[in-house]
Structure 1
Amino acid sequence: MDQGKTFSRFTSELKVRPDDIDMFNHVHNSKYFDYVLAARYEQMETCYGMSMEQFMELGYGWVVKTAHVEFKRPLTLGESFKVTTGIITMNEKSSKVSFEIVSSKTGKVCSDGWFDYVLIDIKTGRGMKITQEMIDKYSI
């Protein structure tokens, strides 16, 4: 369904908070997932023109089916960073979104990877087909 579609990449800027730090004095690995999800949440509203709240009001939700992250360098307390995300593929079963987290201080990649999201019906919690209209909406 997404043959020939071009998907944009968007960037959000975030900052490491004290509660993100682990016992080794850098960001705990689980927080990188939070950073990507926070960026996608913001980007749904500011870049795609449909907030997560509006999406949920329509009865839809995105859940993570698979996630892959490669850690390259640590982020530290107070550090600003940019999270760039973009859809790689989207079809009637799932949407694969890549991400890259880059330190604003060094300009170096701290982590990258991808998430495979499945569309669900919020009322039933079951997966549902991604429509061509949704694919078109995200093809910006």
Structure 2
Amino acid sequence: MELKSFYIVRFPDCDPLAHLNNSRYLDYFLNAREDHLRENFDLRITDFLQQGMGWVVRQHEIQYLRPAVYNEKICITSQIIKLETSNLVVELKMFDEKEASLKAILWTHFTCIDPKTGKRKDHTPEFIELATRLGIGEVNMEAGITERVKALRSLA
């Protein structure tokens, strides 16, 4: 299931050209995913930590396509696109307010860990069931993020 929310690009997050700073895209994306889970499913990261499960970022794949600029209203979407025993991949996309122009896309690869030990652990059966129920987006990850961008642009 693809979730979405809207944000305003803030001045302190911009470079001297009034473009959203490249490093701040990650903050906007990760904050949006946390917001999506809380607002749509009443899920909080702290709930999972109390259950002995957390995630660390293993890898980011990002493409910057169009600038997000100061005071612009943007739309960020997120969805799980791959779920494995101890890993998952979340796709996040940033659009203009009308969702007509794709500004950036991020694939974040997370690894499940035990927060007490910091070591990799398998997702619980309950989490697998929850994630499956919430929906896994059908994305051809093997083709790569560049092909994903081409596919998304062909839909516009």
Higher helix share: 2
Query: Aligned to 1:47, which of 40, 44, 58?
Result: 40
Measured in 2, the distance between the counterparts of 1:87 and 1:106 equals 19
Q: 1:50 to 1:106 in 2, by over 3 A?
A: closer
Measured in 1, the distance between the counterparts of 2:119 and 2:9 equals 34
Measured in 1, the distance between the counterparts of 2:115 and 2:33 equals 19
Deviations 1:62-97 (Å, cap 9, x if unpaired)?
Answer: 211010110011011111111111111101120011
TM-score normalized by the length of structure 1: 0.87
Return the offset for 1:131: 2.4
Return the offset for 1:48: 3.3
Counterpart position of 2:59: 66
The question of 1:101 aligning with 2:94 is answered yes
> What secondary structure is seen at the aligned counterpart in 1 of 2:41?
coil
Measured in 2, the distance between the counterparts of 1:106 and 1:124 equals 41
Letter in 2 for 1:133: E
**Greater CA drift, 71-80 or 39-48:** 39-48
**Is contact 2:11-2:18 (8 Å) kept?**
no
Counterpart position of 2:24: 31
Counterpart position of 1:119: 112
Counterpart position of 1:89: 82
Q: How does 1:10-25 map to 2 (within 5 A)?
A: 10-25=3-18
Higher strand share: 1
**Paired residues, number:** 133
Counterpart position of 1:75: 68
**Is contact 2:75-2:99 (8 Å) kept?**
no
Measured in 2, the distance between the counterparts of 1:84 and 1:46 equals 13
The question of 1:130 aligning with 2:123 is answered yes
> What secondary structure is seen at the aligned counterpart in 1 of 2:109?
strand
> What secondary structure is seen at the aligned counterpart in 2 of 1:47?
helix
Measured in 1, the distance between the counterparts of 2:54 and 2:36 equals 15
Q: 1:59 to 1:132 in 2, by over 3 A?
A: closer
Measured in 1, the distance between the counterparts of 2:5 and 2:100 equals 14
Letter in 1 for 2:95: V
Amino-acid identity (%): 28
Higher relative contact order (CA 8 A, sep 6+): 1
